[in-house]
């Protein structure tokens, strides 16, 4: 019990609340979906409804809608939460960008990120959805532990994007 | 045979350069590939590549253009490079997280922002030896040195401020509140105006360096990241990471002049004469902008993770020999 509390403390201390170290990491996942871009956007383009298609997300609490400054709090299946806010929303090009507010290492081992989700026509019909962004590892100090280093951040966020896009595809291609 | 061809190539190259107004070498730090890449701005072709130690970030050149200095924040190093031969001369050890770098007017000292220790260090540019320190705000990032006044301007990202340092006395003479999370800054060639890119504030502050006041805050977008000033000091150029574009504002008022679509997650900008070059971090290329027509001319494919950039005018470096 005491060890647990201690470990928790160390984690908090090792996590700069200021985030954003000097080495950004790139994440980029794409999926093709057999549905028209407008139909894909109707589901994926609602900032507050990610829980309808992302298998890792249990629920969402959204405020402000699909407008600049709109916010959503994601509750992951494992219980941890993460708050994100909209920076750009362009319904004419089917694209939105957002950023993480405060880090929560129990949700994802990153200290900050900004992401874009874009829907476009596929090269051979249907749609292509790209979800990409810039992330920073969980511990931005010079000696990050293995669970908070660059690889851990890239792997966890890469899997989060991948799972989401697969969920979106499954939802839109079912029936 | 090989050498003769190379010499011939060099001569042909030089004669082509002489007929163009954009002759220069653009050096870009490729963080993810641990490289420094050189582009000939006369031909827009990559002409050299130098492997360096891991995690290079920012760069500057010595005043004559003979040397480049590249920081490695994750590894506490600064690499000194011969810019003409594109070869490593030495690697300085640095106790901290060296991020921004600026050289003084005569190339004697380097100023380094130490991201995790809230200080600016002064190093001997020849040996890397410690030549002094000064405390600044939280998370110092971009640095710029004014050769006319010997003032150093430091963007304190988490203090929302710029520190103005008198480098002759190594004393802070002012700290200006400029907006949320200033990351990069740029000084006009005449030294009269300083512009900061405020990442969280979504704007750019234009500062009168004589009066030490913020004249205007120009709205840019979600995440302004890089900044430059044109040669005539009439325009500020600001990259916006979330809008994938370059915003041009008028100086000193900060009125929006135009915007140009460029690559994804644009960052560092350099500007000379009627050209600007922007490193697109996510796209891994460099946008070449014609400032007269305010158009993107081309994007030069470069590498993974381009960060800092330095432009050395070929004429300057040739005349310096």
Q: In angstroms, rounded to a whole number, what is the distance separating the alpha carbons of residues B280 and B313? A: 22
Q: State residue A175's pLDDT score.
A: 66
Using 50, 70 and 90 to split pLDDT, how confident is the model at A141?
A: confident
- Among the ranges given (A127-131, B5-9, B284-288, B300-304), the one the predictor scored with the smallest mean pLDDT: B5-9
- Is A23 at the interface with chain B, CB within 8 A? yes
- Is A149 at the interface with chain B, CB within 8 A? no
Q: State residue B193's pLDDT score.
A: 97
Q: State residue A172's pLDDT score.
A: 97
Does residue A10 belong to any structural domain of this protein? no
pLDDT tens per residue, range A12-58: 333 333 445 668 999 999 999 999 999 999 999 999 999 999 999 99
Chain A with chain B: Cβ pairs closer than 8 A: 57
Centre a 10 Å sphere on the Cβ of residue B39 and count the other Cβ atoms it contains.
Answer: 23
pLDDT surpassing 70 at residue B4: no
For A117, name the nearest residue in chain B, comparing CA atoms only.
Answer: B242
Does residue A5 belong to any structural domain of this protein? no
Q: State residue B21's pLDDT score.
A: 63
Q: State residue B314's pLDDT score.
A: 67
Q: Kindly list the strands in the beta sheet with B59-61, ordered across the sheet, starting from the edge strand earlier in the chain.
A: B59-61, B67-72, B77-82, B87-93
Does residue A99 belong to any structural domain of this protein? yes
Does residue A145 belong to any structural domain of this protein? yes
Buried b (16+ CB within 10 A) or exposed e, B138-168: ebbbbbbbbeeeebbbbbbbbbbbbbbbebe
Give residue A72's domain range: 18-173
- Is A150 at the interface with chain B, CB within 8 A? no
Does residue A137 belong to any structural domain of this protein? yes
Buried b (16+ CB within 10 A) or exposed e, A39-78: ebbebbbbbbebbebbebbeebebeeeeeeebbbebbbee
For residues B56, B135, B205, B266, the Cα torsion angle rounded to the nearest 10 degrees is 10
- Is B305 at the interface with chain A, CB within 8 A? yes
Angle B175-B176-B179 (CA atoms, 0-180°, nearest 5)? 135
Of all residues in chain A, what percent carry a pLDDT higher than 70? 87
Does residue A4 belong to any structural domain of this protein? no
- Is A116 at the interface with chain B, CB within 8 A? yes
pLDDT tens per residue, range B158-189: 999 999 999 999 999 999 999 999 999 999 99
pLDDT surpassing 50 at residue A159: yes
Question: CATH number for the domain including A75?
Answer: 3.30.530.20
Does residue A8 belong to any structural domain of this protein? no
> Which residues lie across from B35 on neighbouring strands?
B30, B51
Does residue A9 belong to any structural domain of this protein? no
Number of domains comprising chain A: 1
pLDDT tens per residue, range A94-137: 999 999 998 999 999 999 999 999 999 999 899 999 999 999 99
Q: Are B68 and B61 in contact (CB under 8 A)?
A: yes
Centre a 10 Å sphere on the Cβ of residue B13 and count the other Cβ atoms it contains.
Answer: 15
Q: State residue A21's pLDDT score.
A: 60
Residues from chain A contacting residue B281 (CB–CB below 8 Å): 24, 26, 134
How far is it between the farthest Cα atoms of chain A? Answer: 58
Using 50, 70 and 90 to split pLDDT, how confident is the model at B23?
A: confident
Q: State residue A52's pLDDT score.
A: 97
Nearest Cα to B167, choosing from B194, B195, B193, B132?
Answer: B132
Minimal C-alpha gap between A2 and chain B (Å): 30
Q: State residue B315's pLDDT score.
A: 58
Nearest Cα to A103, choosing from A33, A1, A161, A18?
Answer: A18
What ipTM was estimated for this complex? 0.82
């Amino acid at each position: 019990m005491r060890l647990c509390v201690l470990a928790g403390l160390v984690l908090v201390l090792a996590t700069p609340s200021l985030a954003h170290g000097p080495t950004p990491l790139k994440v980029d996942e794409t999926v093709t979906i057999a549905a028209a871009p407008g139909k894909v956007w109707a589901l994926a383009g609602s900032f507050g409804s990610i829980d309808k298609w992302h298998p890792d997300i249990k629920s969402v609490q959204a405020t402000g809608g699909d407008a600049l400054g709109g916010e959503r709090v994601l509750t992951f299946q494992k219980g941890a939460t993460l708050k994100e806010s909209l920076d750009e929303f362009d319904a004419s090009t089917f694209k939105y960008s957002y950023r993480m507010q405060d880090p929560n290492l129990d949700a994802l081992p990153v200290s900050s990120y900004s992401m874009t989700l874009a829907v476009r026509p596929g090269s051979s019909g249907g749609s292509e959805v790209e979800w990409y962004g810039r992330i920073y590892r969980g511990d931005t100090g010079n000696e990050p532990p293995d669970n908070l280093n660059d690889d851990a951040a890239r792997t966890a966020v890469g899997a989060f994007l991948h799972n989401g896009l697969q969920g979106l595809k499954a939802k839109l291609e079912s029936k | 045979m090989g050498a003769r061809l190379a010499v011939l190539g060099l001569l042909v190259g030089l004669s082509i350069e002489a007929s163009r107004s954009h002759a220069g070498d653009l050096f870009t730090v490729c963080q993810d590939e641990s490289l420094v890449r050189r582009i000939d701005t006369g031909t827009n072709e990559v002409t050299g590549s130098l492997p360096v130690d891991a995690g290079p970030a920012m760069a500057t050149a010595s005043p004559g253009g003979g040397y480049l200095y590249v920081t490695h924040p994750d590894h506490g190093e600064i690499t000194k490079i011969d810019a003409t031969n594109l070869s490593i001369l030495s690697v300085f050890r640095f106790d901290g997280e060296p991020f921004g770098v600026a050289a003084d007017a005569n190339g004697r000292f380097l100023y380094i922002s130490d991201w995790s220790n809230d200080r600016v260090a002064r190093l001997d540019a020849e040996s890397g030896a410690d030549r002094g320190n000064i405390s600044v705000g939280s998370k110092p990032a971009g640095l710029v040195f004014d050769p006319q006044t010997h003032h150093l301007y430091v963007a304190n990202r988490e203090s929302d401020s710029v520190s103005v340092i008198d480098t002759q006395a190594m004393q802070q003479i002012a700290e200006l509140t400029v907006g949320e999370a200033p990351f990069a800054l740029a000084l006009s060639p005449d030294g009269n105006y300083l512009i900061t890119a405020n990442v969280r504030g979504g704007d750019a502050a234009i500062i009168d360096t004589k009066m030490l006041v913020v004249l205007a805050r120009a709205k840019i977008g979600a995440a302004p990241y890089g900044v430059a000033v044109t040669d005539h000091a009439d325009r500020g150029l600001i990259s916006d990471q979330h809008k994938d574009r370059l915003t041009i504002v008028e100086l000193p008022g900060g009125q929006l002049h135009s915007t140009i679509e460029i690559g994804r997650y644009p960052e560092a900008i350099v500007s000379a004469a009627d050209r600007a070059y922007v490193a697109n971090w996510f796209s891994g290329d460099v946008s070449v902008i014609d400032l007269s027509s305010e158009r993107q001319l081309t994007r030069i494919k470069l590498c993974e993770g381009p960060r800092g950039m330095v432009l050395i005018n070929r004429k300057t470096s040739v005349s310096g020999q």
